[in-house]
């Protein structure tokens, strides 16, 4: 395994992060336990979860994923071997069954305390805001709609104050963003610069893959200059970049087969790009999945690459991507496809 550090800290984390969003929906608790056991044995010490999980969210399955992880900690005693990240849900977007009060002080405190109880731990190493409260473009929206109705008032100072108090209490150690824009990222960073008693956002968990490199447009410069590390999610584009959906008969238990509304990476243009990436991998004797993950692993702004798997075979292949070195010829081929079909799946 290769390791990085959470920026501005001495916390050493694996460059491969174990994602957990299928546990409780596509994976049983026993399967989740097997994944955690194997990942830890392979040197993966960074796990990412959220109160919203499993995905797709469902009221009766609220926070089951965190419960699985907590039960594993209790069974194995491995809490001190894992750097643990979780998230508070934002408003709407599948989180209506959780709360409707956004990131108010009471909401953040209640969310943290609920996660701690389910995770059966005294602290969370990295606590993230899952998506913004305000009207902005995330979850596949290409542009910002300036005319949308908005009731949000800037509460970023208050959010950071609440997080500061939770850090002082020892309930969380550090904080990060997720599904955030360049404006939002800089707004949080500047607030903590001006008010130095407030905690600094250290990471940003956004989508990044061969089919969606929009992070490079504005956020990569912020990431590099401000040292806020990318935790790349959906590096396999919901499994599309394994090539398994290119067959005439899609796999029966695969994610997009089960949940066809998760079609962000399945447009005609995205499929065209996927076909070209699959051909490139074949020409160079590479697994398409490992080529896709290895590409993300090469990015200079990456802190950790969040993988997810529903089978042990997938998990092993994904973790092994850390040892795949892409040749200059492969990287040039990737850029040629990207230039011809840039960011087909925002």
Q: Which residues are catalytic?
A: 53
DSSP letter assigned to residue 321: G
How far apart CA 212 and CA 30 sit, in angstroms, is: 33
Q: Which tokens go with 199?
A: 């905690």
How far apart CA 235 and CA 37 sit, in angstroms, is: 22
Strand, helix or coil at 214?
helix
Torsions phi, psi for 89 (to 5 deg): -70, 145
**CA 39 to chain CA mean position, Å:** 17
- Cis-peptide into 56, omega within 30 deg: yes
Length of the chain equals 346
Burial 78-87 (b: 16+ CB within 10 A, else e): ebeebbbbbb
Torsions phi, psi for 18 (to 5 deg): -85, 110
How far apart CA 278 and CA 298 sit, in angstroms, is: 19
**CA 217 to chain CA mean position, Å:** 19
> Is the separation of the CB atoms in 43 and 73 below 8 Å?
no
The sign of the dihedral angle between the CA atoms of 288, 292, 294, 298 is: positive
End-to-end CA distance of the chain: 30
């Amino acid at each position: 395994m290769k390791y990085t550090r959470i920026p501005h800290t001495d916390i050493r984390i694996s460059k491969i992060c174990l994602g957990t969003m299928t546990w409780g929906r596509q994976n049983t608790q026993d399967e989740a336990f097997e994944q955690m056991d194997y990942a830890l044995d392979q040197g993966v010490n960074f796990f990412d979860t959220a109160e919203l999980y499993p995905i797709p969210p469902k009221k009766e399955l609220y926070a089951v994923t965190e419960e699985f992880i907590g039960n594993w900690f209790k069974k194995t005693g491995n809490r001190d071997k894992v750097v643990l990240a979780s998230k508070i849900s934002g408003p709407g977007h599948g989180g209506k069954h959780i709360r409707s009060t956004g990131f108010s002080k009471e909401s953040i405190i209640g969310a943290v305390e609920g996660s701690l109880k389910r995770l059966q731990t005294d602290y969370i190493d990295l606590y993230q805001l899952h998506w913004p409260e305000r009207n902005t473009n995330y979850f596949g929206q290409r542009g910002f709609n300036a005319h949308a109705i908005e009731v949000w008032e800037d509460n970023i100072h208050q959010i950071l104050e609440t997080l500061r108090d939770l850090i002082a209490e020892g309930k969380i150690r550090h904080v990060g963003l997720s599904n955030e824009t360049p404006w939002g990222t800089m707004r949080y960073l500047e607030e903590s610069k001006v008010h130095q008693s407030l905690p600094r956002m250290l990471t940003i968990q956004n989508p990044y893959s061969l089919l969606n490199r929009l992070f490079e447009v504005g956020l990569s410069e912020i990431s590099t200059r401000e040292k806020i590390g990318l935790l790349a999610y959906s590096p396999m584009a919901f499994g599309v970049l394994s090539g398994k959906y290119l067959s005439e008969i899609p796999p029966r238990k695969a994610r997009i087969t089960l949940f066809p509304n998760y079609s962000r990476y399945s447009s005609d243009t995205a499929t065209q790009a996927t076909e070209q990436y699959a051909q490139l991998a074949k020409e160079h004797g590479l697994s398409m999945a490992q080529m896709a993950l290895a590409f993300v692993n090469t990015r200079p702004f990456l802190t950790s690459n969040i993988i997810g798997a529903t089978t042990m075979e997938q998990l092993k292949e994904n973790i092994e991507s850390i040892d795949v070195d892409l040749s200059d010829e492969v990287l040039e081929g990737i850029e040629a496809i990207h230039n011809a079909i840039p960011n087909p799946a925002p």
